């Protein structure tokens, strides 16, 4: 799909072509932000752990057999009941190596474990492994199962077979559903690989403060810094890190003058301490649009841009998702 579809969902044109694309692209935005931590209450489920070495573990051989069976299943009614087990990575493991162990795609491991970027994989954390290739999305009855199946090239009957609870007999609106044998769309894959976000100052300025714990310049006490600071002269042009829709403009406490852009996929970017805002709330912006001028407003010790990336309303390290030439 073309890059422009990334923000067509925000376009309110009455043209039917745009409406159709908007419906389909909505599902784009939910795939990476839905993990098994939402779909499966891990703490209450008594999943088994794979033991080491894997080759001698009966559960591992059992899962490989089920994964292979589901992958080669010729009938939508033949898919096995979806189940999960835990894998504790070794120090030398990475996401691609683990995917190879279980003959699953990286898309599957990323979706099931809510790993939104290949750069944030932590091999000290336990992974959840499914017995079937596939990804999670959120079911929206306004879009309908037919459109979901078409977008991800998945058999509708297979989706019903693997997701419907016998006690309910239906898929509920807003429910997280598993799409067997599905993979990320092209745009989702690009985002996972970390190549969509761009430097909001396009190479200007100097990185002066990183994400994480730091000494607060006002209180001189350790505190958490939820973004990065790039020192730059007042009036420097600020661009969106990724296409999207402006969801907030105005003055907001310590941020000073602030612009917030929604990008879908559960992502937001924030641009703070601005001197001038060039866009209005609701504006659709692309990479080349100037959204603001940098400044020195709010709680600041000097002119700079404060830049944040949020995923599912949680601040994440921008350096995991974009490359800055000004560091």
| Beta-strand runs (E) in 111-256 | 127-130, 134-138, 176-180, 206-209, 212-215, 222-225, 228-231, 237-238, 244-251
Q: Which of 245, 284, 237, 285 is nearest to 267 (CA)?
A: 245
Q: Which of 38, 31, 10, 15 is nearest to 140 (CA)?
A: 31
Output the CA angle 247-119-258, nearest 5 degrees. 20
Q: How far apart are CA 179 and CA 155, in angstroms?
A: 9
- Each residue of 61-101: pLDDT tens digit? 999 999 999 999 877 778 888 999 999 999 999 999 999 99
Q: Sign of dihedral through CA atoms 203, 207, 210, 211?
A: negative
Contact 178, 136 (CB under 8 A): yes
pLDDT value of residue 29: 45
Contact 73, 162 (CB under 8 A): no
> Residue 80: CA atoms inside 13 Å, Cβ hemisphere, count?
18
For 294, residues 6+ apart whose C-beta sits below 8 A from its C-beta are 201, 205, 232, 233, 234, 235, 236, 237, 238, 273, 274, 275, 303, 304, 305
Per-residue pLDDT, averaged over 208-222, amounts to 86
Tokens of 149: 């199946």
CATH number, domain 206-320, options 3.40.50.970, 3.40.50.2300, 2.60.40.60, 2.70.70.10: 2.70.70.10
Q: How far apart are CA 69 and CA 35, in angstroms?
A: 24
The full length of the chain comes to 327
Distance of CA 161 to the CA centre of its chain: 27
**Residue ranges covered by each domain of the chain:** 3-192, 206-320
Q: How far apart are CA 109 and CA 106, in angstroms?
A: 5
Helix axes 58-71, 95-102, angle to 10 degrees: 80
- Each residue of 136-166: pLDDT tens digit? 988 888 889 999 999 899 989 899 888 876 5
Per-residue pLDDT, averaged over 244-251, amounts to 96
Q: 3-state class of 275 per DSSP?
A: strand
pLDDT value of residue 68: 94
Contact 138, 164 (CB under 8 A): no
Contact 259, 246 (CB under 8 A): yes
For the chain, what percent of residues have pLDDT higher than 70? Answer: 82
- Each residue of 175-210: pLDDT tens digit? 889 999 999 887 788 778 866 788 999 989 999 988
pLDDT band per the 50, 70, 90 thresholds, residue 327: low
Q: Is 286 exposed, middle or buried (0-12, 13-18, 19+ CB in 10 A)?
A: middle
Q: How far apart are CA 102 and CA 116, in angstroms?
A: 20
Tokens of 136: 């999670």
């Amino acid at each position: 799909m073309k890059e422009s579809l990334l923000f067509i969902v925000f376009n309110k044109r009455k043209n039917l072509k745009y409406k159709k694309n908007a419906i389909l692209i909505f599902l784009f935005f939910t795939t990476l932000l839905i993990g098994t931590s939402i779909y499966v209450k891990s703490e209450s489920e008594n999943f088994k752990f794979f033991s080491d070495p894997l080759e001698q573990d009966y559960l591992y051989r059992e899962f490989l057999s089920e994964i292979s069976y589901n992958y080669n299943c010729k009938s939508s009614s033949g898919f096995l009941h979806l189940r999960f087990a835990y894998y504790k990575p070794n120090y030398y493991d990475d996401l691609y190596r683990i995917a190879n162990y279980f003959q699953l795609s990286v898309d599957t491991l990323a979706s099931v474990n809510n790993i939104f970027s290949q750069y944030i994989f932590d091999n000290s954390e336990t992974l959840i492994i499914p017995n079937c290739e596939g990804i999670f999305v959120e079911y929206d009855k306004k879009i309908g199962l037919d459109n979901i199946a078409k977008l991800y090239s998945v058999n509708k009957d297979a989706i019903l077979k693997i997701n419907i609870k016998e006690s309910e007999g239906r898929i509920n609106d807003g429910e997280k559903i598993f799409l067997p044998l599905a993979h990320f769309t092209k745009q989702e894959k690009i985002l996972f690989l970390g190549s969509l976000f761009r430097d909001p100052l396009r190479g200007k300025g100097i990185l002066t403060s990183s994400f994480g714990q730091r000494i607060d310049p006002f209180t001189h006490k350790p505190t958490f810094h939820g973004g990065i600071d790039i020192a730059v002269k007042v009036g420097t042009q600020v661009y969106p890190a990724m296409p999207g829709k402006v969801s907030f403009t105005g003055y907001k406490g310590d941020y000073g003058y602030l612009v917030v852009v929604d990008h879908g996929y559960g992502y937001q970017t924030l641009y703070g301490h601005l001197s001038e805002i060039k866009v209005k709330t609701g504006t659709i912006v692309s990479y080349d649009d100037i959204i603001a001028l940098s400044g020195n407003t709010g709680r600041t010790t000097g002119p700079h841009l404060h830049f944040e990336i949020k995923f599912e309303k949680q601040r994440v390290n921008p350096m995991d998702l974009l490359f800055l030439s000004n560091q």
